[in-house]
Amino acid sequence: MTRTYAVIDKYGYRNSRKNQSYPADKLATTLLNQRAPKIYQPDPDDPTGKKRTLDSEATATIQERGTELASQFEEWVMKSPEIQAEIVKIYNERYNRSIVKPYDGSSLTVNGLAKQYQLRLHQQNAFMRIVQERRAGLAHEVGSGKTLTLLASSMRLQELGVISKPMFVIPKPLVEQFGREIYKYFPESKVLIATTDDFTKTIEKDLLVELPMETIMRLSLRTLNRELL
C-alpha cells in the first residue's frame, strides 16, 4: 500500500513458559491470506524433540484474537472510504483479471428528441452500451428514465441502419401510457399502435409485413401469447 499501517501487539500471543510466540503482524498476514492461525508445541513423546503437535489451548486463544482482529479491521475499513478505495485499487491492479467495460455516452446526441428533454448521465451511458453491444439490461429503479433510454437507443440504431422495425413488447395495462411517452419524447416519430383488436386472422400477417421502415411498433404481452405466423 502507499502508506504503512501497524497492528498493535495486543492481538498477538506469547507464552514464555512454553517458548511460544505468535506476533500480531503474523496473525494479520495469516488472516489476510485466509488461513487459520495455529500454534504448535514439541511432542512430549518424541525423544528427538523434532516432532511438533498442535497446542489446542494456545490455538484456541490465537484464533479468538484473530476473530477480534478481523472484526476490528472490518469496522476500520468500513469507516474509511479512502482506505476502501486504496484496497480496491491494489486488488484490481494485482489480482483482478476481469474488468467491467465502461460506457461513456456523454458525446452522443439524440436526433428528434424534444428540446425540453435531455438524457442524464446514467441514461447516456446505457444508451452507449445498447448502441455498441446491441443489447443491455436496464436494471434502473422506477423513475430513472428507462423508457427514454430505450427509445433513444432505438432511434440511434435505426439511424445507423442496424434495425429497421423496432418492436417494444409492453404489459397490456401500460400500452397506452408507453405510446404517449413515445410522442412526448419524440413528437415527430411515426408509431403504429397495435392493439389486440388489430390481430385477427385476416389482417395480422399483412399488418406485420406492411409496417413502414421508420415505424415503432408497440404490442401488449397478451397480444403475443398467440402465434402470429
Q: What is the pTM of this model?
A: 0.51
User: Per-residue pLDDT tens for 57-96?
Assistant: 999 999 999 999 999 999 999 999 999 999 888 888 888 8
Q: Which long-range contacts (CB under 8 A, 24 or more apart) does 111-117 make?
A: 111/155, 111/156, 111/159, 112/155, 112/186, 112/188, 112/189, 113/152, 113/155, 113/185, 113/186, 114/184, 114/185, 114/186, 114/187, 117/148, 117/185
214 pLDDT tier (thresholds 50, 70, 90): very low
Domain limits, the chain: 9-94, 102-163, 164-229
What's the whole-number average pLDDT of the chain?
Answer: 81
